[in-house]
Structure formats: C-alpha cells, structure tokens
Amino acid sequence: MFLRQELPVRLANIMKEISLLPDNLLKTPSVQLVQSWYVQSLQEILDFKDKSAEDSQIIHRFTDTVITIRNRHNDVIPTMAQGVTEYKESFGVDPVTCQNVQYFLDRFYMSRISIRMLLNQHSLLFGGKIKVNPAQPKHIGSIDPNCNVVEVIKDGYENAKRLCDLYYMSSPELMLKELNAKSSGQSMQVVYVPSHLYHMVFELFKNAMRATMEHCTDRSIYPPIQVHVTLGNEDLTVKISDRGGGVPMRKIDVLFNYMYSTAPRPRVETSHATPLAGFGYGLPISRLYAQYFQGDLKLYSLEGYGTDAVIYIKALSTESIERLPVYNKAAWKHYMENHEADDWCVPSSEPKDMTTFRSI
C-alpha cells in the first residue's frame, strides 16, 4: 500500500525539521503538543509496516487509523501558530530567528497540506460504507476532474459576504467576468481540489471586503469587488480586485509573514471557530495551497486605490505535481548557518516622521 510507505516518510521528514527549531520555541506548550501528535501518528502508522495488504481486517483497521490521525491533526495550524505567538511574546524575535521560523513554517504547513491530502484521499475512497459521494459522484476522493472554477469562486464570495454583513452590516457586491481563451463559450473546468481553491478565494474575499469597508466608511454604496477568471493553454488565472485603499509596496512581503497580522489576536479554542482570523496566517497559507500543485498567489497593490490578488493554477493536470519539502543537508544548513549581513544597503522599515526634524 502506497500510503503506509509514504506517510511515515513525510511525517519523519518534517519531524526532523521541528527538532531544529530554537530550544525556547520547542519548549512552548503548544509546539510540544504538536510534536506529540506527530510522534503518536508516526508510531501508529509504523505498526502497519509489515502487515499484510491482502487481509481485509488489516485494511479496515488501517483506514480507521488514517481517519484517527486526520482528526488528531485538525488543529495543527492554530496550535503551532499559538506556539509561535507564545515564543514571540516571551523572548521577542530577532531577524535571524524570524527568517528561520518563516522558512520552517512554509515547509511545515506545506508538508501538512500534503499529508492531509493523502489522508483525505484514503479516507474518502476507502472509509465508510458508501464508496461514491452522492453529492459529488464524479469526485475522485477530494479531487474534482471537472472543477467548475466560477462556481467555487461564487461560493467563496457568498460565505465571505455573509461574514462581512454580520460584522459591518453591509458588504461590497461582486462583479465577475470570465474568459475561456482555450475553448471559447465553454465553462472553465480544471482538474483540481475544490476545497483548496475555496480556501484561497474565501480568504482573499475576506481581506478585500474588510479593506473596502474600512477604507470607504463615508460611502453609502461601496465599490464592488471585481473578479476576472481566464483559462489559457497553460494557466488558469483568477484576479480579485478591490478598491480598499491598497498597501505600500514595502508591506507586500510583510503580508505573507507569519509574524504579521492587522487583526486582533484570537484565542485558540477549537477548529470550529473562524479559521486563522488574527494570526496573520490567511495569506501565507493560501499561497501554499496555490503552490502545492505548482501554482502561485501574488499581490499587486496601488496605495491609495486598491489591491489585485492573483491566483495562478496549472491548467494541465499533467503539470500539477506536488511541491514537497525535503529534509536534506541543504535544509539542515539553513537552520545551522549564521546568516550574513545583506550586501545591499537596507532602508529603515518605517518612513521617517519629518515633523520631528527642525529646519535650520
């Protein structure tokens, strides 16, 4: 069985990297809890290493174990985020540690996405008595061979709109345009995981709505959020544009930093709460979902006007190959080496307040 060979490798790879984190970060209760989940899951999956793949009872037990592991790891993202926050509040963060934590979390969460993909595929295909989901009969596990991109986008917008209406008592409208340059007049469909696409567009809609509502407080009618969807020979591209005032160029990279958030810090309770609100993880995790199958997510902002968020997805399923972190000497060296000073001059992170300077 592929899963019982591959899953221990992916778990062990990322566990090696967890052990290279700063000692004070490893000692936080939240990170220790995440470590214990990974250790327990690895031990449970290794119990099946030499078991017969032909025995129906073994297969049934293995599937139950896979579902147990999947459920155990439901809260990995917010729990690890809590650990990083605990470390930051207790010890502060220097540039080198910040860079290493950023490097680690990108790899850790990408590994988590890939592991969850395997667990979901197995549990959906082999778990339960009903082998075909009556709601989505054409799905292969969590993969939709004919994913209707526009329908997923509309679904993400409606749910973000519902949250926006609850918080601000109003919300911007959606203007959607689509162009199928590959097959004119036909709906845009790709082989993709709808839940991944939904996660990305839902997060981007939430950000766009919040920016629009807070930037345009003096208006009774809010500028709409414009979405352009295009399908070419190689890429499917989704551009979400808002009139929320944008951000300065120097802050674009910061928006993808796990240490950054513009919202109040939430409390960690359960996975049923609004996911990631306030941890600053929405954009970086969404980018990882895009990159997982060789796509990407980029932001382009016009300060004073608004922001364009662009999702790139491979149009060809043969190009949609997993992007996985590999623990090797290069990864080990990244944590062990001292990062040298930049060989370019680095300006201050914040613009100077000229009112504090006296004129001569």
Which residue is catalytic, options 139, 196, 206, 215? 206
Q: Could you tell me if 323 and 295 are in contact, meaning their C-beta atoms sit under 8 angstroms apart?
A: no
Which residues, including other chains, have CB under 8 Å from residue 232's CB and lie 6 or more apart?
A: 181, 182, 315
Which residues, including other chains, have CB under 8 Å from residue 342's CB and lie 6 or more apart?
A: none
Known catalytic residue at 207? yes
Known catalytic residue at 71? no
Known catalytic residue at 206? yes
Which residue is catalytic, options 199, 215, 239, 314? 199
Known catalytic residue at 334? no
Question: Using CA atoms, how far apart are residues 235 and 63, in angstroms rounded to an integer?
Answer: 36
Burial of 154-170, coded b for 16+ CB within 10 Å and e otherwise, reads ebbbeebbebbeeebee
Question: Using CA atoms, how far apart are residues 208 and 309, in angstroms rounded to an integer?
Answer: 9
Q: Could you tell me if 211 and 160 are in contact, meaning their C-beta atoms sit under 8 angstroms apart?
A: no
Which residue is catalytic, options 100, 161, 207, 215? 207
Which residue is catalytic, options 203, 215, 239, 314? 203
Q: Could you tell me if 209 and 164 are in contact, meaning their C-beta atoms sit under 8 angstroms apart?
A: yes
Closest CA to 223 of 312, 105, 307, 315: 307
Catalytically annotated residues: 199, 203, 206-207
